[in-house]
Structure 1
Amino acid sequence: MSPRKRTATAALPPPVSPERHAALRGPLLSWYDRNKRDLPWRRTRDPYAIWLSEVMLQQTQVSTVIPYWERFLARFPTVKALASAPLDDVLSGWKGLGYYTRARNLHRAAQEVVERFGGKFPPTAEELITLPGFGRYTAGAVASIAFGEPAPIVDGNVARVLSRLFEVEGLPGDRDREATLWALATELAKGERPGDFNQALMEHGATTCRPESPLCLLCPVRDGCFAYRKGRVHELPPAKVRAAPRKLFLALAVWPHAGTLLFARRADKGLFGGLWELPAVEVDEETPEAEAVQRLSSTLGATLALEGTLDSVRRQLTHRDLTLRLLRVSGGPRPTKSAAFQELRWCTPQEAEALGMSTAMQRALDAVLGHGVLGGDAPAAPAPAKKKAAGRTTRKATGG
C-alpha cells in the first residue's frame, strides 16, 4: 500500500460570504450549462474514463487528447484491463503524448485500484490521493466529477480565474498564494453540483478568462471580479518566468544485424524513464564521434566500431532542446544485457512498433530506417570526427 499523502493545512483567506458564494456559483453554473464544450469525457460518470482524461489533459491540449483518449479506452476499456496489461502495451498506447511518467503512474494506480479496492475507484479525494500519480488536483477532479464530492480543484485555469475574482497576489508557485487559492476553491466547491462547478471554473479559464485577451465583456461574474473593478485583469496572475530549455545531446548506437536493430530499455527514472530506445549516452555538442562510440561501447559492454554518422534528429521538449546523433556501428559479440539498461532486445522494425518508445526515439528510428540500414546491412560512408551531420530532422514536442 502506498503511504498516505498529506497536504499542509492552508491558512484561510478572507471568508467568502454567503452572498458572494451564491453570486459566483449560480452564474458560473448557468454559464457552463449554456457554453460548455461537448467533450467526450463529459458524457460519462465513469471514474476510470474521467481519471484518464484528467491525466491526459495535463500538459496536453484538448484537441490532441480526444483521439488518444478514445483509442486508449478502446484498447483498455476498464481499469481491470489496464491493470492486467503489460507495461510495454500501456507505454505503446501512450506513444506521442509525452510525459511518460503519467502512463507508468496510470498503470501502477490501476493495479492498486484492483488490489486494494476490488477494481472500483474509491469515491473520496482522501482515498484517491493515496494512489500513484494522484495529486490533490486529480483526486479532487475525479471525486467531484465522478462521485459528486465537494472536493476542490486548482489547475492553471482555475488559479487564474480565482486570482482575478479575489485579487490574489503572488507569483505562481508561491506557497501563500497556493494556500489561498486552494482555500477559496474549497469554499466554492461547497454546494450543488460540485463536479459541474469545478468544470465551470476550468472551462471559464480556458475559454473566457484567458491568460491573454480575456473576454471580460462575456464574463458572467464580471461585476463580482475584483481585478476587473480595479483594472488589474492583465496584471493577475503575474506571468511565471520560465528558464530557457537546456541543450541535451545524445549519441545513439544504430547497430543492425540480420534485419534487426539493438534496442535498450531505460531505467524507470529520468528522461524517457522506462521507455525503449536505440541505446544512447549523453555527450557534448563537440564530442567526436569516435569518443561517443567509446562511451556507447562502455555502456553496452561491447566493442563497437564506427561505420558512419547517419543523421541528427532534433526535438524541442518543454525543458530541453534535444539533439539525437545517430551513429551507425558494428561489433561483436552481440550483447543481450547491460548494467546501464533494464533490458536489451534485438528487434525488427515491425517488432519495435509494439515497444513503448518516446516520440523523439520514434523519429530517430524513422530516420534510421530512411537511410536503409537494414537493406543488406551495407555500411554508411564514414563521417570525419567532429563534423556535424548535414541532414537534420527537426520536430517540436511537449514531452518527448
Structure 2
Amino acid sequence: MEQEAIKTFFSTELLGWYRLIKRDLPWRKNRDPYRVWVSEIMLQQTRVDTVIPYYNQFMDKFPSVTALANAPETEVLKSWEGLGYYSRARNLQAGAKEVAQRYGGIVPDDKAAVAGLKGVGPYTSGAIMSIAFNRPEPAVDGNVMRVLSRYFCLEDDIAKPSTRIGIEKLAASLIPEGAAGDFNQALMELGALVCTPKSPSCLPCPVMEHCAARLSGRETELPIKTKAKPPRAEFRAAAIVAGSGEHADKVLVRQRPATGLLAQMWELPHLELPKDKAEWLSEASPKEQGELAEMISRMVETDTGLLIRPRSWFTDADHIFSHIHWKMRFYLADLGEERSASEDVAAAASSLIGLTAAEAASAYKVDSQAEEAEVIGTYRWISKSDMETLPFPNLFLRILKQYWE
C-alpha cells in the first residue's frame, strides 16, 4: 500500500474508533478553551484518574479565566495540592492574568496569542487550538510520539527536539479536514489505552493492520528514547517542632522563597546535609546523631531566635522531583516545658545536642517575644485546621497528617 493510502487508513480508522469508544471525561463536556487549557495543564505528567477529582474541584472554585486571574495564589496552590509540579499552577494563573488583561478574559482564537501565554508550550497550544477551536494544529505529547513512532516505524530518538519537530509535521499531515479536535484526542486516547509504553495491546488496535512496528515485530522496541539522568540525591533532616503554652497543639512551619522549587509553599523546617554527612541518615553513631540534632537546632535558632530540642526520631521519607531525590529524616522536637536554663533542662538538652551541661545552661535562652509570636519571619505556628488553607508539598502534607494522627 502506498504511503498516502497508509496515512489515510490511519486517520480514518482512528477517528472512527475514537468517536465510538471515547471516554466520558469532564473536560470533554464542551469545547470551552479555558476548560481545555486547565485540563491539558493538569494532565501533564499526571494520570487521568488522578486528575478528574482535582479538575472538577478546580473548575468549581475557578469557573472562568477571570476567576482564576483574580484568585489569591495561595488558594490556587491549595487547590493544586497533591498534583505536584506546582509551577504548572503558577504558570496557569499567570497565563489567566494575561488573558484577563489583554483579551478581556476570553481565550483568543489565535495560535500566536495562545502560544505566547505563560506556561503554554507547543503541545498545549496545539491542544487548545485544535480541541477548542478545531484548528488543524498538531498536539504532540509522549503518547502521540509513541503511537506514530510505532505505526510508521520511526527510529529517531524521541528525546531529541529535532525528532519532535519531525513528528509534529507528520501529525499535522494526518489531521482529517474539519476534525482536528477529535483526531488529536483520538491519538492521545490510543496511546493512553491501547498503544501503551510497555505492553501495547495490538489486537484491539484500530490501525494494527498497517502498523509497521507490529508487522516487523518491533512494537515493544519503539519508540527509541535515550534515558534521562537519574535525579541527584539530596539528604535532608527536618524537625517537627511542637509548640507549648499559647501554641500548644501547634507545630512550627516555614514558607519557601517566592521563586524556585516549590515557591511560596509551606514546609517543615529542614536543612540539607553536607555530602560527607549523608550516611548519617542510614547509620550514625550517637555522637553523630547528636551533631545532626544540633545542626537542626542552630538553623531554627538562627532563623527565629527559638532554641528547639530534638527529642526522638519520627520517620524517614523520600520525595522524588524530576531532577532531585530528597532523602529525609524527621525528628520530633519541642521548646521544653520550662523556658529557664535550669540544670535538669540543660542536662536534657546536652544529652540530645552534644553540649556539656554548662554549655547548654548558657545557650538555652530564648527570646520570649519570638516564642510568643504567631509569625516569626517566614516561620509560623499552625494548628491542624490551618492545613485546610495553607498549601503544602505532598511530602510535608503526608508527614504532618501522620503526625497529627
Identical positions, percent: 39
Higher relative contact order (CA 8 A, sep 6+): 1
The one-letter amino acid paired with 1:77 is P
Preserved contact between residue 313 and residue 363 of structure 1 (Cα < 8 Å): no
Q: Identify the residue that residue 328 of structure 2 maps to in structure 1.
A: 323
Q: Write the distance in 2 (CA, Å) between the matches of 1:291 and 1:181.
A: 52
Alignment of 1:68 onto 2:41: no
The one-letter amino acid paired with 1:140 is G
Q: Write the distance in 1 (CA, Å) between the matches of 2:402 and 2:220.
A: 45
Note the alpha carbon deviations across 1:294-344, whole angstroms, 9 max, x for none: 23333x152423241351241342542432423414343427454xxxx43
Preserved contact between residue 235 and residue 328 of structure 2 (Cα < 8 Å): yes
Note the alpha carbon deviations across 1:166-214, whole angstroms, 9 max, x for none: 2211333123322211221222236221010000001111111111221
Alignment of 1:93 onto 2:79: yes
Equivalent residues in 2 for 1:123-272, closer than 5 Å = 123-189=109-175, 191-255=177-241, 256-257=243-244, 258-259=246-247, 260-272=250-262
Q: Please give the secondary structure, in 1, of the residue aligned with 2:390.
A: coil
1:279–1:307: structure 2 CA closer, same or farther, 3 Å change rule?
closer
1:367–1:216: structure 2 CA closer, same or farther, 3 Å change rule?
closer
Note the alpha carbon deviations across 1:207-263, whole angstroms, 9 max, x for none: 111112212222222233222222221211135424444433333343424234333
Deviation for aligned residue 1:157: 0.6
Q: Identify the residue that residue 291 of structure 1 maps to in structure 2.
A: 295
The one-letter amino acid paired with 1:146 is A
Q: Identify the residue that residue 353 of structure 2 maps to in structure 1.
A: none
Preserved contact between residue 14 and residue 186 of structure 2 (Cα < 8 Å): yes
Q: Please give the secondary structure, in 2, of the residue aligned with 1:322.
A: strand
Aligned length: 350
Greater radius of gyration (CA) = 2
Q: Write the distance in 2 (CA, Å) between the matches of 1:142 and 1:70.
A: 19
Q: Write the distance in 1 (CA, Å) between the matches of 2:118 and 2:101.
A: 13
Q: Identify the residue that residue 12 of structure 1 maps to in structure 2.
A: none
TM-score by length of 2: 0.80
Q: Identify the residue that residue 274 of structure 1 maps to in structure 2.
A: 264
Q: Identify the residue that residue 400 of structure 2 maps to in structure 1.
A: 365
1:248–1:327: structure 2 CA closer, same or farther, 3 Å change rule?
farther
Deviation for aligned residue 1:87: 0.6
Deviation for aligned residue 1:354: 0.2
The one-letter amino acid paired with 2:204 is L
Q: Please give the secondary structure, in 2, of the residue aligned with 1:216.
A: coil
1:146–1:176: structure 2 CA closer, same or farther, 3 Å change rule?
same
Deviation for aligned residue 1:109: 1.3
Q: Identify the residue that residue 387 of structure 2 maps to in structure 1.
A: 352
Alignment of 1:106 onto 2:92: yes
From 25, 30, 33, give the equivalent of 1:39.
Answer: 25
Give me the CA root mean square deviation. 2.3
Q: Please give the secondary structure, in 1, of the residue aligned with 2:227.
A: coil
More moved, 248-257 vs 67-76: 248-257
Q: Which runs of 5+ in 2 are unaligned?
A: 281-290, 336-365
Deviation for aligned residue 1:271: 3.2
Q: Which runs of 5+ in 1 are unaligned?
A: 1-15, 371-400
1:148–1:324: structure 2 CA closer, same or farther, 3 Å change rule?
farther
Preserved contact between residue 253 and residue 329 of structure 1 (Cα < 8 Å): no
Q: Write the distance in 2 (CA, Å) between the matches of 1:303 and 1:318.
A: 31
Note the alpha carbon deviations across 1:366-398, whole angstroms, 9 max, x for none: 23334xxxxxxxxxxxxxxxxxxxxxxxxxxxx
Deviation for aligned residue 1:92: 0.8
Deviation for aligned residue 1:362: 1.1
Preserved contact between residue 236 and residue 326 of structure 2 (Cα < 8 Å): no
Q: Considering fraction of residues, name the structure with more helix.
A: 2
Q: Please give the secondary structure, in 2, of the residue aligned with 1:142.
A: helix
Q: Write the distance in 2 (CA, Å) between the matches of 1:249 and 1:138.
A: 35
TM-score by length of 1: 0.81
Q: Identify the residue that residue 309 of structure 2 maps to in structure 1.
A: 306
Preserved contact between residue 239 and residue 310 of structure 2 (Cα < 8 Å): no
1:126–1:19: structure 2 CA closer, same or farther, 3 Å change rule?
farther
